Amino acid sequence: MGLAQLHQLRGRVGRGAAASTCVLLYRAPLSHLARQRLQVMRRTNDGFEIARRDLELRGPGELLGTRQTGLAQMRVADLMRDADLLPRVQAAAEVLLARYPDTIAALSARWIAGGEQYGRVG
Q: Does the pLDDT at position 44 exceed 70?
A: yes
Whether the per-residue pLDDT at 112 is higher than 70: the answer is no
Write out the H or E segment, with its range, that includes residue 48. helix 47-58
Torsion sign, CA atoms 85, 87, 88, 90: positive
Q: How far apart are CA 115 and CA 60, in angstroms?
A: 20
The pLDDT of residue 122 is: 52
Mean pLDDT across the chain, nearest whole number?
Answer: 77
Write down the pLDDT at residue 8: 83
Is pLDDT at 93 greater than 80 in this prediction?
Answer: yes
- Rg of the chain in Å (alpha carbons): 20
Question: What is the value of pTM for the model shown?
Answer: 0.51
Answer for the pair 44, 50: CB distance below 8 angstroms, yes or no.
yes
Q: Say if residue 69's pLDDT is above 60.
A: no
- Does position 115 have pLDDT exceeding 50, yes or no? no
Instruction: Choose between 14 and 45: higher pLDDT.
Output: 45
CB atoms within 10 A of CB 114: 7
Provide the residue type at 104 as one letter: I
41 SS3 class? helix
